[in-house]
Each structure stands twice: as C-alpha cells, then as structure tokens.
Amino acid sequence: LMKARIAAVQYKLRNIDDWEGFVAQVNFVLNAAADYQPHYVLLPELFTTQILSFMENDNVPEAVRELTKFTERYIELLKKYAVKHGYFLIGGTHPNFRDEKLLNSSYLFTPSGEVYTQDKIHRTRWENEKWKTDQGDILRVFQTKHAKIAILICYDIEFPELARRVAEEGAEIIFVPSCTDDRQGFLRVRYCCHARAIENQVYVAMTSTVGNLPVAGLRLHYGQASIITPSDFPFARDGIAAEGVINEEQIVVADVDLALLDENRLKGTTIPLLDKRNDFYGQRPELITIK
C-alpha cells in the first residue's frame, strides 16, 4: 500500500455546559471521520480549550493550568477512538504538565493503543507572555505502517529548519494542528505549509479550529483544513489535494500517493531536497558596505 488517506477535522468550538458536552462532540467528529476509512485523522491545535467554556476562564494563566487537570481524561477518550476505528489519530494539541513544565503538546494515538507526544518547539507571544508556557525541546519522526510522519504545531511550521530536519529523516507527511484567531494568522500558517511542501517534497496536512468560544483570549477563531502536495505535474494542480470551506464545521479527506514522493524527489522538475548544498550552508554571507 503506497497510498494513505487523511481526514482533517475542522473542529467547531461551541459553548458547552460540561465534560459530557465535550465527549459528545468528539464522539461525533471521530465517528464521522471513521466513515471515510482514513489511515490518519487530524484534529486542530488547542481544540480542548472548548472545556474552558464551562470553567472560570477570566484569569488566562490560571485557566490554562486548570485545563491540564483534564489531561488523563482527554488521553483515555481519544485513545479509545484510535483503537476502535484502527486509524492513527493526531489528537490536536492539549496543554499538559510534564517535568514541572507547562507544554503545548500534540498527542499521537495509535490503533494498538500506544500514545506518543510532540511538544510545540516555538511559542507564540500569546503562549509565552499570557499563558506563560514552556517550550518543547525534542523533535520526533514517527515510522508508522503507512508512512513516516512528523507533527509541527502551528507556529512551528513557520520555521523552515524544523520541516527540513524531519524531511531529511525521511518524513513523508507533516501534520500541522493549528489554532488561529484571524485571517492573517491563518494565512501565515497556510502559506508556510505550501512552502514546506515545496521545499521538502512532502505532503502537509493542516487543520484549524473554527467557531467562537466565551473564553478570555480565545473568543474568535478563523480556519480551514487542507491537504497540501508538492507543486509538480503528478500532484494536484494548485498543490492542494483537498481543502474545506473556511470557518465551517466539516471533515476534509484526501488520498496521498507516497510512491509519487520518492519519484518526485529524484525526477521532479526541481528537486530541492536533493539539491541542497550542504557544503555551503556553514558559511556566513559576505557583508559588503556600499557608501
């Protein structure tokens, strides 16, 4: 099997009254995604902040720390669906405490019930200044039975070095769970996903939160899911295998052909992964002062 099917969920944040309300919506989207028999399902960054809508949430740093108390319940809930439906679930992200650090982490749930994490490496100003979170320090590539994958959380896709490092380790699909509040923020992530797919000849799947929440600092969301390809003849015409309707609740599904990547990396119109001049990048640019 050289094709992988990806389902990316545009998760609509709604006001809920209790934990059961969260469970009900997760149950709906993860069962709905299963109808398409995907190999991978992707949820957006910080979609668990929906839980804050039934908690005291005016004190921003305190609220996110309260949210970490749901970590075990969140893990048990999502693990169940990956096992039940037999897909790899990139469970968006969830704030959690580990080693006395407050991290924004993406959880990867496997069909056999294992759970892995990828922490966010670069924090946005909001995470740094308002939430006072810590940065992750480990970048991972996961060899799954369908493809080699990596997870770069939202802002992390804006750093080309990270995507290049995972591509050089053989990553074929980069998953980008994202959470943005306006069009500019969304487009920063989206445009960078296209750039990374072209530079590294990989597929990039992204999704975002949509909807509104009565939660301090997280009231408005702007987003769209997409499955992005390299830009060359064998792939989608615009480098977009599939994309959703902006700000609507939906699931976007596409098949990606992994054999095409191998071929494209050797015989593509351009082959940036192979053409990179490793001998050159240690040098500093010459500075010429012109009077």
Nearest residue to 120 via CA among 62, 205, 178: 178
Six token digits for residue 272: 């940036």
Cα separations in angstroms, 109 against 21, 74, 75, 186, 254: 22, 11, 9, 26, 20
Question: Any residues with CB less than 8 A from the CB of 6 and at least 6 apart, and which?
Answer: 38, 39, 40, 41, 42, 173, 203, 205, 227, 253, 254, 255, 256
Within 10 angstroms of residue 275's Cβ, the number of other Cβ atoms is 8
Q: Which of 12, 79, 127, 154 is catalytic?
A: 154
45 has catalytic annotation: yes
Q: Round to whole Å and give the CA distance between 136 and 163.
A: 16
Nearest residue to 153 via CA among 143, 168, 138: 138
Q: Which of 45, 127, 158, 172 is catalytic?
A: 45
172 has catalytic annotation: no
120 has catalytic annotation: yes
Q: Which of 12, 79, 120, 243 is catalytic?
A: 120
Six token digits for residue 158: 């804006």
Question: Any residues with CB less than 8 A from the CB of 144 and at least 6 apart, and which?
Answer: 88, 110
Question: Any residues with CB less than 8 A from the CB of 60 and at least 6 apart, and which?
Answer: 130, 131, 216, 217
Q: Are strands 173-178 and 148-151 parallel, antiparallel or unpaired?
A: parallel
Burial (CB count within 10 angstroms: exposed 0-12, middle 13-18, buried 19+), residue 96: buried
Torsion over CA: 137, 89, 28, 3 (sign):
positive
Q: Round to whole Å and give the CA distance between 50 and 224.
A: 18
Task: Give the residue numbers annotated as catalytic, written as ranges.
Answer: 45, 120, 154
